[in-house]
Structure 1
């Protein structure tokens, strides 16, 4: 393509993605470019979900999740009163900052100890009054964060009431008032413990006090509201609320759409998008990115392309995240020629493809089972001096493992180490799965321990993969050793019951 040629108009981009010619040397095993919805994953193997019993874990189980690759920026402006970090004065020196931080920590520890003594015969409020701490945003945040991080299956019934008791006491102290960020922290504690009714009462309290309600507030509430009907009512309430702290209104809708995307509420995204249009608010690029992703996940590719055309007609150019999504869709649809056209289009439009773009494309093609195309684009990426990172290598390795070509996966793993890229949990999981497939159980167990030694904690799927495959190979003793190893490390003890027939020593 002529480097000085002007890129085609955006309204033709959708047509550009559907070429009639084949890409020579890069083709699918089925003999042509697919027209599927992009929903099928390569390998056709079952992926065990949360709550399933232990069984055969498919090779596709340890792919890098699409959410890691197809990530979107958080919408709207930064919240001045929605930060869970430590907001210390910038004028304080590093020595004074450390001293102040240590004093806060000690004071917060004392407060938490007092709260834990709460019960019959102990007056918590009086004990806090006698302690006479200097109540500030930093101290309240520190106490609430300590409670957040301490919640477990034993404490989840007790901690919400302790946190709320402290929350009420703090607000009654002279010179201090809770802001949005403190409400969000107490909401987070209630969310962790499933206290939905208490969360709604807090929202009512925030509204009565005229406090700005942020996207974090919405996120906490909508993630805890499990019923679709309740979520829709919640969305309606936030759309209508003058306290929802995202203005102009388009940013309010974007904040809601973004949160719904993170929890997979694709149908609700469609509804919110239509509501946004009905109320006369123009979508921006982020809006289109979220809604197109939802259409894609729902398998509505005709509407996906319609939105892409509409985006061009409205004078909006794709951004990096739009291209990420388009390349991934083309990959999963097994359309390497269209992907090549899009990469060239991007370069001509002044948006040079980076490693994330190539990785998204390769991941999609890998899920479609077109490893020849994966290798082609991997080599093209390297030729363009775009160095593959750990995620890109992991996508390649997982693709070959899923296809049963462990030797090629091993080559990529070795090349990755030579280039100084450290494997992550998904890389190790894929390699361990591959070693199990080819019957190299000793190496798989060794790699599991090497993984742990490097500070990369295995997830439960890799443990269950090893155990199930060892048992299928008649190696019950080795399988029990893996379970014991997991137990000794303190990993996933709450999931031990999934290993049928195993009894702890």
Structure 2
């Protein structure tokens, strides 16, 4: 592959600001080609060691896409031939999201229009077209080409489909601007387009812009965005989160004070960023000071505030302090989350206070019935991992005697190991009680409890896996529909990003 040139070759059609993206021979509403199911999304595999340009484009790609084929796609797009779409069809490749991201990034760096390729992707697979990263990178592509008219057209299309943008949409801004005045002018122009597009693109786009600027340590530019848009807690929270990630705690506190000066009082989510960052660096005393400040300033802590303090206290072996935080939380009428229970159970367990861990599970199973299934299963799992096989089996039997359905992977692992170790009577009791619960419980409820956190279903029967996937897909569909309704109504859109949960630490350590 020849070294890429900075400018596109003469035979590549260039999209001027006057050329709408609808004029390239494709309507977004009328796909030009049909592959009759030939195009498919493939699983991700590791990237190949390739040339520099190929490495940019490859990332992680589908199993039938190699470096040479990716390079071929890039060269086809670079050439801008009239039959580009037909040649892409004939290649018969299945591109993953990761390989698409790599291709778009390479095209953006080379300032090559990716519009026709984007439309082709949209026609082949709508799920890829609606991917936030892919849509953000085509906006970035328009920015590299200074094609703001096409950018606005795309933003309007994304708004109609309730598609959200992220920080990848604005990578061109700091690179193409030679001075602060220049970047501020470009930022203002982009913000105006986001306002004009409205809907999901406006809110998510501004948050993405703030995230990008903060990540690049361009905090003054990020403040400029807030100044020309709106002074609101969710915008400042993005800056505070990045300051906390950099351990710039005093500067994060300065931002909190700045918020108050503009009558933009921080909420619990904003404080939680600072709390979790302090706790991650074992500065628990300072975190407690932040908690007291929240109360004095009239900002009531939420369940996650206390969970952060409980989690890190348990991790440091300070279980008495964790219990005090728990008591404060309950006295405020806040119900502990499942991950809060997990922090206590693991805290007691790892400090070898097995009786206290058991008593906590029994008491919490009575007080917080919705958590009973998972906390009993977690305790059984911990004993199983610690080699206490009989104890783990007895815990599962006890929970099933109370009508609680165990987490299926824990049940099946413990039962099989009991059989293998010769504890056939205990294993038989487990199997009988599990079968009884299955027959007494509604099928949907039974599988919802059994598979709520399943990751590896490779050893389950096809029918069980299919039912599990249907249940999970239905839950995700409800969440996506809710998010789109909020986006279309100009409200804040919840995502799976930790920012919406206000939790910076990792919950996987809790085992849930």
Q: Which protein has greater RCO, CA pairs closer than 8 Å, 6+ apart?
A: 1
TM-score by length of 2: 0.46
Task: Give the TM-score normalised by the residue count of structure 1.
Answer: 0.46
**Structure that is richer in helix per residue:** 2
